Amino acid sequence: MKLTVVAATGGIGRHLVEQAVAAGHEVTAVARRPRGLPEGVHPVAVDLAAPAMAALGAAVRGADAVLSGLGPRDPRADVGITSRGTRAIVAAMQAEHVRRIIVVSAAPVGPVPVPGEPAPPRHDPGDGFFMRHLGARFARAMFGRHYADLALTEQILRESGLEWTVSRPPKLTDKPLTGHYRVALNRNIRGGFSVPRADVAHHMLRMLDEPETVKQVVGIAS
């Protein structure tokens, strides 16, 4: 496949690039400073905080799919980049007639209100007692503005008309790839408190061959 990886030098993006290359895909890597990439990867410099649409359009042109690990470096400070960047990615894909996109969100996002849906369910159906009453509340207190931006990002995708999939992991770790994780459609994973970034990337690539994940939110955890 011909893949475009956005935020290609970030925590999940670098795993996406490495695993996609190892699998034999043709990869275009989009990043603010696309350095240190594997041989054969086509680098495209785009700052998703203020994207140059011509460069972004060229990066997605002809792609079979776009995979985005876009997110703030500091979830408590650099708020808004995910929704702004995703809006630009969607516009570039629509202009270039590219359909498939898979993005990373976060497990606590489901109950976060967005314009047009001010009263979402109080809890994600996959959350157990701890997450319903303590974990999710603490996470939203710490990173509420970040989760609100991710909820807006998901809304942008739902309204895009594209063939989107949202991956919702819990706490991300830097443990090595295992290839063993639990997934579920439209719900979080009961008792799933963390997952390696490498495994999230592995699953994102796997979903390219899973049409049942199109226009779905997918929970993932170890």
Q: Cα separation of 155 and 159, whole Å?
A: 6
Q: Which two tokens stand for residue 215?
A: 């226009």
Q: Which domains does the chain have, with CATH numbers?
A: 2-221 (3.40.50.720)
Question: Which tokens in the block code for residue 32?
Answer: 């603010």
**Tens digits of pLDDT across the chain (222 residues):** 999 999 999 999 999 999 999 999 999 999 999 999 999 999 999 999 899 999 999 999 999 999 999 998 776 666 789 999 999 999 999 999 999 999 999 998 865 666 666 556 666 666 654 455 454 554 555 556 788 899 999 999 999 999 999 999 999 999 999 999 999 999 999 989 999 999 999 999 999 999 999 999 999 999
Report the predicted TM-score, pTM, of the whole model to 2 decimal places. 0.89
Residue with tokens 């996959």: 126
